[in-house]
Structure 1
């Protein structure tokens, strides 16, 4: 169940329908997200697996974390790990995550909150469920997106944006049947709270069973649709798409999604998707583990800086560093 819902969509501003003659983006591919484990062992789906980085640009990586119902004592996070050269966007739909970093920043995000971390020149951080959640167990579901930074911004000082659920821009579709949560970027003249170095948009949309969502979409952006739950259709030809699948769309200035009229019982709310788009950076990408740079030499330098302690050190009260994540 999405954390941010509205009982009456008619009270929300509506995204205008695409202009007459708008070109609907065709479906280029539909891929399945394989499962895996991250950090200390929490389950993820690798949403971008099998898709060429050139088609993802400016995005690098997307994990759906959960959805999992933890028993008492089971909740898990990540150990201390470094990042350099990109931004992490952690969106929590259900559950709680605490973040801390080597510069004393961080905080708690829960139920519709987003933490936007610009790793820039380098940072160490840790993500973990709070102690009370470890004791009680509970539902955990969210996403982490990696957004590349252009060469000119890769060594910027690290920074955070804490985006609370109350700040997310809530909209309805032109027909009033879909709820849109705009986390970043501009959609149909409406702007989300996230401030981005790379022009992009991130939307979490819920389309009611039998409903159709037609969105205007910037022609200079790419377009990716990841289905977190439900059965539906995408593109002008309405290709079938379902839970755990990513649709890569081609060129155009509008995109179309619809939810199947009949959904499985657990997907009664309809089709739940994350829609992403950004202006491609079109620079070389050298990526190894937690570092995303432009050249292999820069990646090697990042590892050397990390091993020499030049990426920052964990706060003394928070634990020890030294473990890399993928």
Structure 2
């Protein structure tokens, strides 16, 4: 049985400097999909050669941030001393845990002649017992991302988070969760089966695609119902298309969110701010260009 569409929507513009961003989640219909509570799409743009200044040092607590770089290079710094560059096709994951400061900058990839910048940032809500743990950081380059090629050269699936068949992401799972990048060549299709009570959404970053017999446009965010069933992706166009499919089991604990903090109560938010202003998240020392 095919899963039914609950809703579809397009994001709200949330630009930072000269980078064009569309906020896809939270949206007017949903504030979460499984453990995922935030999704920004940094739309494709040719670099003008001027280095971006980054987001600026800022705190997080209670979540994990995940940046998936399709094109470009993200440079990361945090108050735990982590400093790394992730190149096109790579992932950076940071468990904020009980509090951290970080900064990240997206620019053209220094290892590629492609001057395109294109990325996604997700926030993954952590269970209450993990929110109190120390921060962690992972940099996963493109060659380390698990990938399965489809038969007959139909395309491929990359496992960014979670598992697919015998493939497993290096990113820790604190609940059932998944994030797949699916690439379909022209005139091909792919079907995936999902279990009962699993929240799932799709995002189309570049081209229109048919999902369970309904056509959706580039830039659309689509959520499906929570009953067990299949999602069939069809690319009826004459060019390849890409799709992000993500979700997991429902996050059932209370959610209190304010600014860069996501906790389980208003008192948890207040404590997050107190600790930040008390300097408990450490300090950030930028040494850009030295990795």
The number of equivalent residue pairs is 284
Counterpart mapping for 1:40-189 below 5 A: 40-48=17-25, 49-53=27-31, 56-73=33-50, 75-129=52-106, 138-173=115-150, 176-189=153-166
Residue 34 of structure 1 aligns with which residue? 12
TM-score calculated relative to the size of structure 2: 0.90
Cα displacement string for residues 150-209 of structure 1 (whole angstroms, at most 9, x for unaligned residues): 111111100012222111111134664121111221223432332222321111111122
- Distance, in Å, in 1 between the alignment partners of 2:108 and 2:250 is 40
Residue 214 of structure 1 aligns with which residue? 191
For the Cα contact (< 8 Å) 1:74–1:137, is it kept in 2?
Answer: no
- Deviation for aligned residue 1:272: 0.9
Quick one: structure 1 residues 97 and 214, their matched pair in 2 at CA, closer, same or farther if it must change by over 3 Å? same
- Distance, in Å, in 2 between the alignment partners of 1:205 and 1:283 is 30
Quick one: structure 1 residues 132 and 163, their matched pair in 2 at CA, closer, same or farther if it must change by over 3 Å? closer
Q: Out of 256, 269, 283, which is 1:286 matched to? A: 256
Gaps of 5+ in 2: none
Residue 10 of structure 1 aligns with which residue? none
Quick one: structure 1 residues 34 and 150, their matched pair in 2 at CA, closer, same or farther if it must change by over 3 Å? same
- Distance, in Å, in 2 between the alignment partners of 1:56 and 1:132 is 31
3-state SS of paired residue (2:270)? helix
Gaps of 5+ in 1: 1-22, 263-267, 320-326
Residue 247 of structure 2 aligns with which residue? 277
- Deviation for aligned residue 1:221: 2.5
TM-score calculated relative to the size of structure 1: 0.81
For the Cα contact (< 8 Å) 1:42–1:77, is it kept in 2?
Answer: no
- Distance, in Å, in 2 between the alignment partners of 1:149 and 1:52 is 18
For the Cα contact (< 8 Å) 2:106–2:117, is it kept in 1?
Answer: no
For the Cα contact (< 8 Å) 1:293–1:299, is it kept in 2?
Answer: yes
